[in-house]
A = this chain, B = another copy of it.
Amino acid sequence: MTNQFLEQLETPALLLDEARMDRNIERMRRQARRLGVSFRPHVKTNKSIEVTRRIMESPQGPITVSTLREADYFAAHGVTDILYAVCIAPNKLDHVMRLQDQGVRLTLILDSIEAARMLAGRAKAAQRHFDVLIEIDSDGHRSGVNPDSGDLLQIAQFLEGAGIPVQGILTHAGSSYDCTSTDAICAMAEQERAAAVHAAQRLRAAGIACPVVSVGSTPTALFAEQLEGVTEVRAGVFVFFDLVMAGLNVCRVDDIALSVLATVIGHQREKGWTILDAGWMALSRDRGTARQPVDQGYGLVCDLDGRPLDDLILVGANQEHGIMAHRSGKIEGALHLPVGAQVRIVPNHACPTAAQYEHYKVLGAGHEITATWQRFSGW
């Protein structure tokens, strides 16, 4: 097969700038090394073995997943050390056991005595061993038991009593996505670390070994000053980055490795609009920058070299139509690329945008497509 170039692709298409991705990976690798912790990448963003092989410490892992389908896929590609970082539901335990039967060490998490009882019941009935971390709440944004609560000790002691040794503590400071300064992200990283270490120390004081202390999000992992007492860090979106991360100053716009290739299909010149063949199906409905100082609409428009183009954004989107216009709303002098011209749109949020596609078109030097990497979605 002869090489393909950007200009030959049918649109919309998901582009992955390999050089930018490799630079982002190297940055996280350096940070994990400096912090002296193991790195357990979250694969929920990329869902691709080609990408994940570049970020894993070994071909067997470790990795973090957000669905059991991710676990299935990576297990089929030889990964055996997998953390499923969503509290376990009873209807997933048959699936968990199938993964165990394939040789996967699948670590589960939970944050309630109810779930602990359910798991202990199934462990006994099925004569199974389960590896479990207790999720604690370090920032109030979602799940997890209060690290200062009696519940934490009760859950741990119940599990140990039921013959399920507590492997450790897990937390995720998702609030870091709402920080408004780098200082705030540093402080959030310390809050995340301190809460997890504190919970682990409480368990140890109660005689529970608690070998694992797992923390992380892309902002806190990259901005943590020290991770004393932590054993592993998790992050996923750093591989690609996105406009939300750029809005947080966690990366620059020209670090963002993911973009959607789109084509001009028409104009409404009297409104300053150019119509593209990429709408919210191609970019996702994510409007994560709407709550940031700079609202990027449905995405920032770049030229084929990946450089922002004349301050154009997608001001609106329908299912398969994007409305491109100047951020300022200017109509006089608005840039109107001809029908057939291509642009690259940098997305608000890498995870939902990538989820709309079945493959990455890997972009090398110039405009050359050097590979097509499969990815998957769903459950």
Q: Does A355 contact B (CB under 8 A)?
A: yes
Given contacts A275-B143, A285-B287, A11 and B89 within 8 Å (CB-CB): yes
Q: Which residue of B lies closest to A112 (CB)?
A: B266
Q: Which chain A residues numbered 90 to 143 have a C-beta less than 8 Å away from chain B? A: 90-92, 95, 110-112, 114-115, 118, 137, 142-143
Q: In whole angstroms, how far apart are the Cα atoms of A354 and B126 in the complex?
A: 35
Q: Which one of B66, B68, B112, B321 lies within 8 Å of A319 (CB-CB)? A: B66
Q: Does A13 contact B (CB under 8 A)?
A: yes
Q: Are A266 and B10 in contact (CB under 8 A)?
A: no
Can you list 11 A-B pairs with a CB-CB distance of less than 8 A? A86-B265, A89-B339, A90-B340, A112-B266, A115-B339, A142-B321, A143-B268, A281-B351, A281-B377, A285-B285, A356-B378
Q: Which chain A residues numbered 348 to 379 have a C-beta less than 8 Å away from chain B? A: 351-352, 355-358, 377-379
Q: What residues on B are CB-neighbors of A277 within 8 Å?
A: 86-87, 89
Q: Which one of B263, B268, B281, B352 lies within 8 Å of A137 (CB-CB)? A: B268
Q: Does A38 contact B (CB under 8 A)?
A: no
Q: In whole angstroms, how far apart are the Cα atoms of A278 and B275 in the complex?
A: 33
Q: Does A3 contact B (CB under 8 A)?
A: no
Q: Are B12 and A379 in contact (CB under 8 A)?
A: yes
Q: In whole angstroms, how far apart are the Cα atoms of A321 and B267 in the complex?
A: 39
Q: Does A22 contact B (CB under 8 A)?
A: no
Q: Which one of B68, B90, B352 lies within 8 Å of A281 (CB-CB)? A: B352
Q: What residues on B are CB-neighbors of A285 within 8 Å?
A: 284-287, 352
Q: What residues on B are CB-neighbors of A329 within 8 Å?
A: none
Q: What residues on B are CB-neighbors of A78 within 8 Å?
A: none
Q: Does A8 contact B (CB under 8 A)?
A: yes
Q: What residues on B are CB-neighbors of A319 within 8 Å?
A: 44, 66, 351-352
Q: In whole angstroms, how far apart are the Cα atoms of A266 and B265 in the complex?
A: 47
Q: In whole angstroms, how far apart are the Cα atoms of A143 and B338 in the complex?
A: 15
Given contacts A265-B86, A339-B112, A91 and B11 within 8 Å (CB-CB): yes
Q: What residues on B are CB-neighbors of A174 within 8 Å?
A: 318
Q: What residues on B are CB-neighbors of A263 within 8 Å?
A: 89-91
Most interface-central of A277, A339, A357 (chain B CB within 10 A): A339
